[in-house]
A and B are shown apart, each in its own frame.
Chain A
Amino acid sequence: MSADRGGPAQPILIVNGLRKYFPLRGPLGTIDAHVQAVDGIGFDVRKGETLGVVGESGCGKSTTARLLMRLIEPDAGEVIFDGDPIGHRGISIRELRRNMQMVFQDSYASLNPRHTATEEIVFGLRVHGMGSKQAREQAHASLRLVGLEPGQFGDRYPHEMSGGQRQRVNIARGIALNPRVLILDESVSALDKSVQAQVLNLLADLKDRLNLTYVFISHDLNVVHHVSDRVLVMYLGKVVEIGPVERIYGDAAHPYTRALFASRLSMDPALRVGAAPLSGDPPNPVRPPSGCRFRTRCSLATQACAASEPLLREIAPGHQAACHALTGEMADAA
């Protein structure tokens, strides 16, 4: 593990103005429009915390994860890792990835079908310059950490394992380089409930043992509640709210966050949801609404919401939300 350079108060990740638009090409290959996947987001991730990221499909959760890992290049904005910007002025992408690893949703697609569990982990270690004997030992140690006995599972191919076992291999690969940050992008979403619980327990153990920081992306609000210290809510490429988990789950400020939480299933047949809090689907991220992107589905929306984009404002210590109705700007603009 690399040294903790900035001290405990220095956020492990600082994200500023991050933007990514994906071009949409027409039949003649010309760029017709852009999907505004992530549009100028900023937040930080503190050392040792689990930051939950929630939002519906198309809100930019996974694009954000890929931008953090530099699997795709941002159009604008910067990511600062423990005080060092990423790129030629700061730490290299290779160095970044040694410190930050990612576990994906599809445990099968994210493993090489021609690699055994051990080979899969050794491959990454060798890329980062480890000798083959040492890499093998490290791979076996990682497999043990995730509860897979190397003698029994080390020589298995992905198709010879269950979904839960494969996801453990993905996690073992993620922690093999002793990273400081693990990005978990819907990592437990495809697992059956009984297996999901096992993997969530494993992730909690690993975080304690290895001093990890998690960025935990999920559409499952119950799972995010269970694991997170702070929660970031995204809608159509924007951060709409961020704050401590107990504030977001107990006293959410943004109308979208409140509607999202009110859409949760009751888990009690006596307390069934009576009415859907929102109607319709999220708008298309190719042509998002002007001003506040949530205004087309928001019951509080006024003309001010179409005219200007609300910025993230602190509404309580450590709790920020982007809504004109909260900051009184609606009255000013009217």
Chain B
Amino acid sequence: MPRDPLVEVRDLSVRFVNRDIDLTVVDDVSFRLDAGEVLCFLGESGSGKTVTMRALLRLLPPHARIGGSIRLAGHDVTAMSERQLEAVRGPVGAMIFQEPMTALDPVFTIGTQIAETIVAHEAVSWAQARARALELLEMVQIPSAARRLDAYPHELSGGLRQRAMIALALSCKPALLLADEPTTALDATVQIQILLLIRSLQKELGMATIFVTHDIGVACEVADRIAVMYAGRFVETGPVADIVASPAHPYTAGLLRSTVSASTRGERLASIPGGPPDLTDMPPGCAFGPRCVSHGAACDAGVPPLIPFAGGRASRCLLTKEVVHAGQGGGSVSREAHM
């Protein structure tokens, strides 16, 4: 009997609608995620990666319209009332943000914020919740955790604040952790500490994790699979190692080529010409068409579908088949056609 996946998203779209404008910012997004898996949404600013993630917990502004279906651990998120959502946010899916200073409440201590969350979701006393908060701070490796329970967010360094926010997110033992660029604001030596912490907690607790990042290096450190986003759509999905080794979509290939590394020293970078499209004025057909070296007349006929191919991969490019023929050796056929 096939087990239900933890996350199942089908044909997700998000539109921002007000009196003047009806803007589609996420379109045709489908994926599934099992317990213990790590998926990365990789994309540049405005590609829709954060909006897609926030849609999973319906953490979007009131003028957002969500289409398609989102199932989290059996719950139909799109059909739930605000009241019902409270039972999903926390125990099923919890989120950590890029800037802990704005995500934590500045007027309450770390211990109070964590204990408050536990009391709100579980039938435990305040003292028990405080004890759990201490365990959580120890779990995220905050030194002298007992003392830090009574610290306010501004009294902690950036790295410790991010650890405290992770502890807060883990307070209800979520099955799914959503991480929105959690290390982007951190220094290199602290970033790697936090990435390693999330990686070890994720393994230890068997959590599924979705990471949003613009940094392919972060994706390489944490992800099992990645979904590359461009102009609101998935353009390539598959195992991270395969995509980095042999990208199928021209955008992914361009992104990898234009990423500076040790081997590019002294050379000209192969940049992608132009910039991402204006969402209010999308090109006909493939959104990447105007910047693509392989652009042909067929690309403008309509938005290409996400075409699955060997190794559990897919690419939203009409040339996908040729890439597969020219590409790497096989792998088993996709276990899930659309990701």
Contact = CB atoms under 8 A, between A and B. Distances in A.
A30 interface: no
Contacts of A165: 275
B187 A219 contact: yes
A192 B271 CA distance: 11
A225 interface: yes
Given A194-B258, A265-B192, A282-B187, A272 B221 contact: yes
B192 A267 contact: no
B260 A269 contact: no
Given A201-B268, A265-B218, A276 B192 contact: yes
Interface string B212-224: 0011111011010
A225 B220 contact: no
B141 to A, nearest CB: 9
A277 B214 CA distance: 24
Interface in A252-290: 259-260, 263-270, 272-273, 275-282
Given A56-B187, A222-B260, A225-B265, A279 B193 contact: yes
Contact of A198 (B261, B262, B271): B271
A164 interface: yes
A106 B220 CA distance: 28
A259 B240 contact: no
Contacts, number: 128
A223 interface: yes
A168 to B, nearest CB: 12
Nearest to A165: B275
A277 B192 contact: yes
A265 B187 contact: no
B280 interface: no
Interface in B164-218: 187-193, 195-196, 214-218
Interface stretch (B99-107, B112-120, B129-137, B153-161): B153-161
A268 B244 contact: yes
A267 B188 contact: no
B220 A193 contact: no
Interface in B229-284: 240-241, 244, 254-255, 258-262, 264-266, 268-273, 275-276
B241 A280 contact: no
Given A193-B255, A201-B271, A221-B188, A275 B214 contact: no
Contact of B188 (A56, A201, A225): A56
Given A221-B188, A226-B260, A281-B159, A265 B221 contact: yes
A195 interface: yes
Contacts of A222: 259-262
B45 interface: yes
A10 interface: no
Nearest to B239: A269
A249 interface: yes
Interface residues of B, number: 45
A194 B261 CA distance: 14
A275 B192 CA distance: 8
Contact of B265 (A162, A226, A264): A226
B241 A270 contact: yes
Contacts of A56: 187-190
Contact of A162 (B218, B255, B259, B275): B275
Contacts of A300: none
B260 A263 contact: no
A273 B220 CA distance: 10
Contact of A266 (B191, B214, B221, B258): B221
B196 A269 contact: no
B44 interface: yes
A264 B221 CA distance: 10
B280 to A, nearest CB: 14
Given A192-B44, A226-B265, A263 B192 contact: yes
B241 A265 contact: no
B259 A265 contact: no
Interface string A103-146: 00000000000000000000000000000000000000000000
A273 B271 contact: no
A26 to B, nearest CB: 16
Interface string B274-305: 01100000000000000000000000000000
Contact of B44 (A194, A276, A280, A281): A194
Contacts of B240: 269
B221 A197 contact: no
B305 to A, nearest CB: 24
A264 B45 contact: no
Contact of A273 (B44, B192, B272): B192
A263 B244 contact: no
Contacts of B262: 222, 225, 249
B44 A259 contact: no
B220 A265 contact: yes
Contacts of B160: 281
A223 B192 contact: no
A303 interface: no
Given A201-B269, A281-B157, A193 B241 contact: no
Contacts of A249: 262
Contact of B189 (A195, A198, A200, A277): A277
Contacts of B255: 193-194
A281 B164 CA distance: 14
Interface of B: 44-45, 143, 157-160, 187-193, 195-196, 214-218, 220-221, 223, 240-241, 244, 254-255, 258-262, 264-266, 268-273, 275-276
Given A269-B241, A279-B193, 18 more contacts: A192-B44, A193-B44, A194-B258, A201-B269, A204-B268, A260-B188, A265-B191, A265-B192, A266-B220, A266-B221, A267-B220, A267-B244, A268-B220, A269-B221, A269-B223, A276-B196, A277-B192, A281-B187
17 contacts: A56-B188, A193-B214, A196-B258, A198-B273, A200-B260, A223-B260, A265-B195, A267-B216, A267-B220, A268-B244, A269-B241, A273-B196, A273-B221, A281-B157, A281-B159, A281-B190, A282-B189
A-B pairs with the 4 shortest C-beta distances? Answer: A265-B217, A197-B271, A197-B258, A56-B187
